[in-house]
Structure 1
Amino acid sequence: MSCEVSPIVLSQLVDLYYRVLALPSLAPSPKVNQTFSELVSLCLQIKVPSNHLTYHLDEICKKDNNNFNIFSLITRAMEAEGYMERYWAGILATADNLQTAMRLFWYWDNYATLTKYELESLKAAGCSTFRRVAFVGSGPLPLTAILIAQEIKSHVVLYDRDAEANELAIAWVKKLPWGKEQFSFRDADVWDVAPDEFMQYDIVWIAASVGANGKEKSGVIKHVRKGMRPGAFLAIRSVEMGCSLLYPEVQHSELGDVDIVRHDDPPQGVVNSVIVLRV
């Protein structure tokens, strides 16, 4: 694999980095939407390891007497996503035709492709039982959980430490024909949940936005895994290559002594990859 990045692409990334940091507000607006659309599009094009990419970006920023801070960029990207999800949760809560409104969401096709890819990876890993599913870090717009429930007809428990995010999600999820039966919500920071609570699940999803960095995310994974029953599965959302500028990347070395059964490349145009662990 080549570790070279086009100077033009690097220059565009640095420009976007400064533009993202300079945004006075991250709430959805034409300027915010355009800036992050450009950033995501560019990140998806970059196929070099994240450490090489950040090295090159840091070298360019040093010429401007600055340092490239990937943590600041990821934090801003995840904050902007949070604002966007709240905005769309409000739209869905008041929609006359909820299922039509869901498909109008800007990234609906991306979510649908990502969920299909994750379910295929799980089945290839030997995960064929989906009676009870948990999603950690579900947020106000848990579209993955909706798509999972549609596909596998399982009960899904949604964990989020932000009670307001859960309230926003409940306001529209419970309007779905199957919403009241298939979904439960837990207002809880995963660190405050006893590990043995996770023993009831056949599979636990860990959202891309859980953890400020790979090390913190691996801590959450170890906490959850500690209580899961043998043979159950963890689906961990990570990122590869250029998309490491958008979410924390999980390195295999950070996971410790675990049984990694799948780690497939994401489909074309999809930001997140999935790492599948067997407990």
Structure 2
Amino acid sequence: MASVQSSISESHLPDELLIARVMQIHSSICKLESLRPSKQVNSLFTQLVNLCTIPSSIDITDLPSEVQLMRESLIQLCGRAEGLLELQFANFLINIPQPLDHLDVFPYYENYVKLASLEYSILYENGMVQPKRVAFVGSGPMPLTSFVLATHHMQTTQFVNFDIDESANNVARQIVATDVELESRMKFENCDIMEVKERLGDFDCIFLAALVGMNKADKVKILGHVKKYMKAGGTLLVRSANGARGFLYPVIEENDLVGFEILTIFHPNNEVINSVVLVRKPLF
């Protein structure tokens, strides 16, 4: 049976004010010459994240059309900025000794540690204790979730990281190459996940990053594709967003998960941004 968990905090901002501030920040971001990390870029995105993690009752599906269009644009901008931030730090790490010992230089490292720990706890509670093979779809240049899971939670698991961006995989591969044991368990593949078919059946558990499928239609197509080819009884962990966090990442709803058995939907109320949706492909 599905369990839905969330918490309510006392601090609250009226929805109209929150939306107005998000739109103001979006306007400022659109005027930037570049989304590469800089004092101005970092400041705007920090303001945005802080704003969107304030508890709110916003229903993303119920926003006016002009706000919906702004949100779609904002998610694209956030995705590009996040990729550039990861790439900058990944390139820094490959030029220092033992880069895996210095992952905490990344500004949001602690968030990833908390998210990976939360995701592992949810998997554990649902019987996925030490999966033999895990796929992470949309791993990027700094596959922090895979690093944290492989070193702290799943020390015998084989990981395959799929990303459409060859340059991202090349940098990530260089970071892992500095650790012989981790390199033996972690591979990187350049591909569009929609072109990966029967191989998806090799994995006990598949992670779908929040920015794989930047809009609802694409996300639903990807979910359908993964469901078709993943193994029966296998689990799929999908990152989503809830409330105002939906201005940062696409939102997955229960009706997007037709054909899956929903195991858990968890909405964090701390600095962790992503909701965690765990589903299973039925055996029959």
TM over 0.5: yes
- 1:258 aligned residue (245, 260, 267): 260
**Structure 1's 23 and 33: CA in aligned 2 closer, same or farther, altered over 3 A?**
same
| SS at 2:53 equivalent | helix
Which residue of 2 is the match for residue 73 of structure 1?
74
String of CA shifts for 1:61-116, please: whole Å, max 9, x gaps: xxxxxx85211111001000010111011011112242342112100100000001
After TM superposition, give the deviation of residue 56 of structure 1 in Å: 9.9
**Structure 1's 4 and 215: CA in aligned 2 closer, same or farther, altered over 3 A?**
farther
C-alpha separation between the residues in 2 aligned to 1:115 and 1:92?
Answer: 21
Given that 1:54 and 1:68 are in contact with CA atoms closer than 8 Å, whether structure 2 keeps it comes out as no
Given that 1:117 and 1:266 are in contact with CA atoms closer than 8 Å, whether structure 2 keeps it comes out as no
- Structure 1 stretches lacking a partner, 5+ long: 59-66
Which residue of 2 is the match for residue 126 of structure 1?
127
After TM superposition, give the deviation of residue 267 of structure 1 in Å: 4.9
**Structure 1's 69 and 6: CA in aligned 2 closer, same or farther, altered over 3 A?**
closer
Given that 2:203 and 2:234 are in contact with CA atoms closer than 8 Å, whether structure 1 keeps it comes out as yes
**Structure 1's 52 and 236: CA in aligned 2 closer, same or farther, altered over 3 A?**
closer
**Structure 1's 128 and 100: CA in aligned 2 closer, same or farther, altered over 3 A?**
closer
RMSD of aligned Cα (Å): 2.2
TM-score by length of 1: 0.90
TM-score by length of 2: 0.89
Is 1:117–2:118 an aligned residue pair? Answer: yes
Which residue of 1 is the match for residue 162 of structure 2?
159
String of CA shifts for 1:151-178, please: whole Å, max 9, x gaps: 1111100101111111111111221342
Which residue of 2 is the match for residue 18 of structure 1?
27
Which residue of 2 is the match for residue 147 of structure 1?
148
| SS at 2:63 equivalent | helix
Is 1:34–2:4 an aligned residue pair? Answer: no
User: How many residue pairs align between the two structures?
Assistant: 270
After alignment, is 255-264 or 124-133 more displaced?
124-133
C-alpha separation between the residues in 2 aligned to 1:23 and 1:267?
Answer: 30
After TM superposition, give the deviation of residue 4 of structure 1 in Å: 7.6
Which residue of 1 is the match for residue 94 of structure 2?
93
- Structure 2 stretches lacking a partner, 5+ long: 1-7
Which residue of 1 is the match for residue 4 of structure 2?
none
After TM superposition, give the deviation of residue 214 of structure 1 in Å: 2.5
| Paired-residue identity, % | 29
Which residue of 1 is the match for residue 227 of structure 2?
225
| SS at 1:178 equivalent | helix
Which residue of 2 is the match for residue 183 of structure 1?
186
Which residue of 2 is the match for residue 173 of structure 1?
176
The amino acid that maps onto 2:26 is Y
C-alpha separation between the residues in 2 aligned to 1:6 and 1:252?
Answer: 24
C-alpha separation between the residues in 2 aligned to 1:130 and 1:250?
Answer: 25
C-alpha separation between the residues in 2 aligned to 1:32 and 1:51?
Answer: 25
After alignment, is 153-162 or 249-258 more displaced?
249-258
**Structure 1's 4 and 84: CA in aligned 2 closer, same or farther, altered over 3 A?**
closer
